[in-house]
Chains A and B, each alone.
Chain A
Amino acid sequence: MAGTAAAGRYVGQSVKRLEDPRLVTGHGRYVDDIALPGMLHAAFGRSDLARAAITQLDTTAAEALEGVRAVFTGADLNPHNDSLRASLYPPTSPAPPANMLADGDVRFVGDPYVMVVAESRYIAEDALDLVEAEFEPLDPVVDYETAADSEHHVHPELGGNLAHDVAVPNPTQQEAFENAAHIITETWHQHRQTNVPMETRGIVASWQPHAGVMEVWASSQSPHEMQLVGARVLGIGEHKMVVHFGDVGGGFGQKMFLGREDMAVLVAAKLLASPLKWIEDRRENLMASNHARIEQMAVSMAVDGDGCFLAADLDQLEDDGAYPLGGPATPGAMAAMLFPGPYRMGPVSWRARTVYTNTCGRGAYRGPWQMESVAREQMIDRVAREVGMDPLELRRRNVLRPGDLPYEAPTGLSFETTISPEQTLEQAAEMIGYDEFRAEQAEAREQGRYLGLGMALYIEPTSMGMGPLGTESAMLRVEVDGSVNVFMGTGSHGQSLETTMAQLVADELGVRPEDVTLHQGHGSGYGFGTGGSRSAVIAGGAARAAASGVRDKVVAIAAHLMEASADDLEVADGVISVRGTPAASMTMAQVAATAYQNSDALPAGMDAGLEHTARYKAPPSTHSNACHMCVCELDPGTGKVSLLRYVVSEDCGVLINPMVVDGQIAGGVAQGIGGVLYEHCVYDESGNPLASTFLDYLVPTAAEVPELETGHVVVPSDTPGGHKGTGEGGAIGAPPAVFNAVADALAPFGAYPNRQPLDPDTVLGLIASASD
């Protein structure tokens, strides 16, 4: 099945990144590198209590400190806040009260209730110490499992803690259960984690009072979300909101939407008519930016005597925290709908609930509904164990095969013929040497060593083509000298779009990648930005269409000037030549100079200039798929888990840049490894975050992440170029694969893990309780 699409001259090559010369020499420009004349600095005072009434707030002493320009409370800023909703969140849905700063009460540890603006960050933080605030502690809602029944309400305005409750029962599911040979039930828990971009959030806002223009530099994945929502917050038109896009130090979902602090900085910068900078510190990032993956799914699966899946029943519960970043979402519904994944699952009933708690708000984190894969893949391993079948064999028995496609999943999703779950399953099994491993594992157990193999197979809906997410645009201009500028609504923050979009344009237009510069932010057309594994397909589709439009004109002009037939011309590396007669040629620069500076020489009736704007609308979903397999060794004396091998077989369609694809997968895998084994945003029962530094929140290092082996199955999608999204996949497949490996290593002890993290204490506890 591999390699059916033709690679281009540059597409398909591991072209070295155009971003790198500036980034490896320290010449990137991140938001904290912006310094404007007269720029002031903001710092936020944040609640130390999970839930409390503010009984006194006196800012007099803080305001009196030399170098302090202003101190804002909720009463000062919140009157400006009637339109803070993120683009993806429908205005009619229930939501927490919209505010930038807490006013009257605080609702989680880290809730900002005061903002100091001063001549330096040092002075701003000094002034925070002078703010006199008193609080009357209230009982917090910390445990999300009991939040819905709590008499205490996170948001009293809403009258309860239940944010969403959606149920879709399926009567045929119940029938299938009645006749099943096996019904297996387990509740799978993920635990609170956070995105941890190495660059924290930050913004610089500069208001031009008489012009009514706001100029913004922000660490953002979505410059147009900043432009649109920022303009709404300020009550100005988008044409007066100038959002510059520089280098962005990672996001993983955290920088898709504006945070309350971003909005506070915008409003304060306007009130003060002075440039204002806020850079989040790491403690703020870890305790108050956004958390994710705080969820559980109770799964019951019915299986027949041959191990064929018959039906499933799902009950998903997720913690939204207090102020979910980007609005209260219903990822649980997506998780349930995606649960059947790459298998013939039979009918599925599901319920999904989300609750508010007095904790840091939930936000998107790479694969925001990956609970579908976590719960399903861990469940399949459990089913295999219960019915006494090899987990690979069980998957083989149920996986969607090419003959099953196209496939309508029982939860309403449609899979096109261009997915390849069975092929990736087999490729991964071959890469890891599945049968050989099982022999090695048995031998090791005899020697007292505990090895485990875990696998996970999934399908990811990428590049969703609906609502605000549906389209991207590219405005492409060949300059007079033949070089190319392309303006796009993306927000590349590590995805290498300056390179990959240049590769697409280079092939489509007939230039070299280094002749193309990608511009993002101000001047580009609306697009939702970079996230949701959407840029390759949707932004790529726009880049191709824009380049193709210009190429047609280039060829028409060259044919006219060279007195050749357009059909006989080819364009490559900036040279237009007559096929088979390379001597008859002209350069892109000659064509461009004619188009702009000698337009009388153009074909009759042709418009001058050499530019084209295109907008690509994506299909509802372009599915990518992958299979992860990994091997771990567990030390029963210390509980330590070490990963020995990690294999990924993936199908993201035609690879634009294999080096970049492998890099995206590796990063996601490392995050999944960290999530299962090391990372945990711990709260105590009073709602105090206990992991607010990197000494407590353990991001994996090079010593914990093994070498990654990647295999590619290439089944081109039906979208232009045949690409599929791949940014999130690593972080979707890795958690269940790592979890299943540890569970497999624990099996000889009779232990049945059902929750993360699988840190040494937990592993030792599982071994001890199993032997009791």
Chain B
Amino acid sequence: MADQKSLSMTVNGRTRRGRGEPRLTLADFLREQALCTGVHVGCEHGVCGSCTVLMDGEAVRSCLLFAVQADGADITTVEGLAPDPETLHPVQEAFRDCHGLQCGFCTPGFILSVAAFLEANPDPTDDEIRHGIAGNLCRCTGYQGIVAATRQAAAAMRAGE
């Protein structure tokens, strides 16, 4: 077996230390060592987007990164998005309001992708929304509620600034 490397990264504001072989994926590190099981692994080949997390503020696919590549990085998973236990992030709130989820499996990846998308494009058109979230797959909703939620979250985040 390959050597174990020691790992340290900031996950949702807390330092998480662990160990793993160089081939350990970031997704598996986050799920199994940082205990962030909101990171969902849907395809393990970088297409479905369920495992999306924010790495230094940018949306990345944690199944396509090795944990060692994220050593020292600042990671946000869906568990780290809500500001406090009583309040949801505007994107989370919008997904609930607009029925942007059914089974919920793709949802954490979508929420983080939308959060990053709206950070880059705070006032998107519907067409920009549809193409902006086309890197994530949902099999339940037909995207109707997700597009509506992105629209609502954009307005809420603009109003909140």
Contact = CB atoms under 8 A, between A and B. Distances in A.
A17 B145 CA distance: 13
Interface string A667-709: 1111100000000000000000000011100010111010110
A23 interface: yes
A705 B43 contact: no
Given A16-B96, A20-B95, A24-B111, A666 B142 contact: yes
A702 B48 contact: no
A702 B139 contact: no
Nearest to B21: A122
Given A24-B104, A693-B47, 19 more contacts: A23-B107, A24-B88, A25-B81, A26-B37, A32-B41, A66-B1, A197-B103, A197-B105, A198-B139, A247-B103, A247-B104, A250-B105, A666-B141, A666-B144, A669-B142, A702-B146, A703-B130, A703-B131, A707-B144
A620 interface: no
Nearest to A696: B47
A699 B139 contact: yes
B139 A196 contact: yes
Given A26-B108, A198-B48, A699-B137, A663 B1 contact: no
A25 B78 contact: yes
B97 to A, nearest CB: 7
A660 B99 contact: yes
Contacts of A702: 129-131, 133-134, 138, 143, 146-147
Contact residues on B (Cβ < 8 Å of other chain), bracket = 35 or more
A17 B144 contact: no
Interface string A491-510: 00111100000000000000
Interface string A7-34: 0000000101101110111111110110
A659 interface: yes
A693 B47 CA distance: 9
B139 A703 contact: no
A282 interface: yes
A247 B88 CA distance: 20
Contacts, number: 176
Contact of B38 (A16, A27, A248, A666): A27
B40 A708 contact: no
B137 A659 contact: no
Contacts of B31: 32-33
A573 interface: no
A26 B79 CA distance: 5
Query: Secondary structure of the B side of the interface?
Result: loop
A369 to B, nearest CB: 21
25 contacts: A14-B99, A24-B95, A24-B111, A25-B79, A26-B39, A27-B38, A28-B38, A29-B37, A66-B1, A197-B105, A198-B103, A199-B103, A249-B105, A496-B102, A659-B99, A660-B99, A666-B142, A666-B145, A667-B142, A670-B142, A701-B136, A701-B143, A702-B131, A703-B134, A730-B142
B88 A494 contact: no
B112 to A, nearest CB: 10
Instruction: Tell which of A14, A26, A30, A660 has the most Cβ of chain B within 10 Å.
Output: A26
Interface string B39-66: 1111111011010000000000000000
Contact of A199 (B40, B101, B143): B40
Contacts of B136: 701
A44 interface: no
A662 interface: yes
B38 A25 contact: yes
Interface in A185-222: 196-200
A146 B139 CA distance: 33
A309 interface: no
Interface residues of A, number: 60
A281 interface: yes
A252 interface: yes
Nearest to B81: A25
A663 B43 contact: no
Contacts of B158: none
6 closest A-B pairs by CB? A26-B38, A249-B105, A666-B142, A23-B104, A494-B103, A670-B142
Nearest to B135: A701
Interface in B58-96: 77-79, 81-82, 88, 92, 95-96
B106 interface: yes
Given A199-B105, A702-B134, A708 B139 contact: no
A27 B38 CA distance: 6
Nearest to B32: A35
Interface of B: 1, 21, 23-24, 31-32, 36-45, 47-48, 50, 77-79, 81-82, 88, 92, 95-97, 99, 101-108, 111, 129-131, 133-147
Contacts of B44: 281-282
A26 B78 contact: yes
B19 to A, nearest CB: 13
A645 to B, nearest CB: 14
A19 to B, nearest CB: 7
Contacts of A196: 139
Contact of A26 (B45, B77, B97): B77
A24 B149 CA distance: 12
Nearest to A703: B134
A688 to B, nearest CB: 18
A708 B142 CA distance: 9
B79 A282 contact: no
Contacts of B82: 25
B97 A16 contact: yes
B106 A198 contact: yes
Given A24-B88, A122-B21, A282-B42, A198 B138 contact: yes
B104 to A, nearest CB: 3
A214 B133 CA distance: 42
Nearest to A247: B104
B144 A122 contact: no
Contacts of A14: 99
A730 B1 CA distance: 50
Contacts of A33: 31, 37
B132 to A, nearest CB: 8
A463 B98 CA distance: 28
Contacts of B45: 282, 693-695
Nearest to B150: A702
B11 to A, nearest CB: 12
Nearest to A200: B42
Contact of B96 (A17, A26, A32): A17
Nearest to A22: B104
A182 B23 CA distance: 67
A701 B137 contact: yes
A200 B139 CA distance: 12
Nearest to B149: A24
A494 B102 contact: yes
A33 B39 CA distance: 10
A739 to B, nearest CB: 18
B4 to A, nearest CB: 12
Instruction: Tell which of B21, B107, B129 has the most Cβ of chain A within 10 Å.
Output: B107
A249 B43 contact: no
Contacts of B135: 701
A663 B48 contact: no
Nearest to A19: B104
Contacts of A29: 37
Contacts of B143: 666, 670, 701-702, 705
Given A659-B99, A663-B102, A667-B141, A24 B107 contact: yes
A704 to B, nearest CB: 8
Given A663-B141, A694-B137, A23 B101 contact: yes
